[in-house]
Amino acid sequence: MAETRLVLMRHGQSLGNEANLFTGWNDLDLSASGHEEARKAGKLMREHGFLFDAAHCSMLKRTIHTLHHCLDELNQAWLPEYRSWRLNERHYGALQGLNKDDTIARYGREQVQQWRRGFDVTPPEVTLDSPHYPGNDPRYASIPVSDLPRAESLATTMKRVLPYWQDTLLPSLRQGQSLLVITHGTVMRALIGHLNGLDPEDARTLEIPTGTPLVYESDETGTPRHAHSLDSSDVRIHS
């Protein structure tokens, strides 16, 4: 593949998706359907002749396992892999691990919808002694405490994600590398919103399917310009 390409993909269906939970940074694995979605995505990319120079994912096993399925199907398990907390899902604070329907019954649909999709609305924070506080997880021990979220809105998630785009992903693309990035729904909204110049209202309402590669073709500078889904799923983005 001569072109420089960026493929963004949300992980396959997780156990949290399957159980209708607020998952966030909670480290749940893929469901049986999610494993199959990941394998199918890798096979689809192989059939389209995709070759990558490096792969990126979050620190959570649902993206790591999705990535490994894809690389196995692509016959590119040898690729360099990079994992970053900046690609983690939005931290849902004290909502993490709760069933969405139960949360609606307790707080009301309007309030829960604001927590889920309000651009700058932050859910209740986790306490410092909570198992959901990243400071209590050894994988984040090297991250400054001031950077560790106790809850995030879409706006603060974007502020966390965009430095990884600017400092890591974009320079690699501009060097002519093609990248596979496996991440999460809210991170996809942040990246697509930035790449496509969407206003916050459009970005927050994007519906991102699991296990569906979104392909950006790059211009002569390596900057992604045009996006298309690799199958018939509609990601509802602007050109």
Average pLDDT over residues 79-89: 98
Residue 107 annotated as part of some ligand binding site:
no
Q: What is the pLDDT of residues 162-178, one digit of tens each?
A: 999 999 999 999 999 99
What's the CA gap between 208 and 173, in Å, rounded? 23
Choose, from 11, 65, 69, 132, the residue flagged as catalytic.
11
The burial class, CB within 10 Å (0-12 / 13-18 / 19+), for 214 is buried
Choose, from 56, 65, 68, 89, the residue flagged as catalytic.
89
Residue 116 annotated as part of some ligand binding site:
yes
36 is catalytic: no
Copy the structure tokens of residue 109.
């649909």
* Residue 225 confidence class, pLDDT cut points 50, 70, 90: confident
Mean pLDDT of the residues in the chain: 92
Residue 193 annotated as part of some ligand binding site:
no
Residue 92 annotated as part of some ligand binding site:
yes
Residue 93 annotated as part of some ligand binding site:
no
Copy the structure tokens of residue 135.
């400071």
Copy the structure tokens of residue 52.
């990558």
81 is catalytic: no
The DSSP H or E segment spanning 82 is strand 81-83
Closest CA to 192 of 65, 7, 68: 7
* Residue 234 confidence class, pLDDT cut points 50, 70, 90: very low
The burial class, CB within 10 Å (0-12 / 13-18 / 19+), for 221 is exposed
Q: What is the pLDDT of residues 126-158, one digit of tens each?
A: 999 999 999 999 999 999 999 999 999 999 999
Bridge partners of residue 217, in order along the sequence:
5, 226
**Sign, Cα dihedral of 21, 24, 26, 30:** positive
What's the CA gap between 214 and 135, in Å, rounded? 33
Domains of the chain: 5-229 (3.40.50.1240)
Question: 63 near 182, Cβ under 8 Å?
Answer: yes
- The pTM of the whole model exceeds 0.75: yes
Q: What single string gives the DSSP state of each residue in 73-114?
A: HHT-TTS-EEE-GGGSPPP-GGGTT-BHHHHHHHH-HHHHHH
Residue whose pair of structure tokens reads 């749940």 in the numeric block: 28
Q: What is the pLDDT of residues 185-201, one digit of tens each?
A: 999 999 999 999 998 77
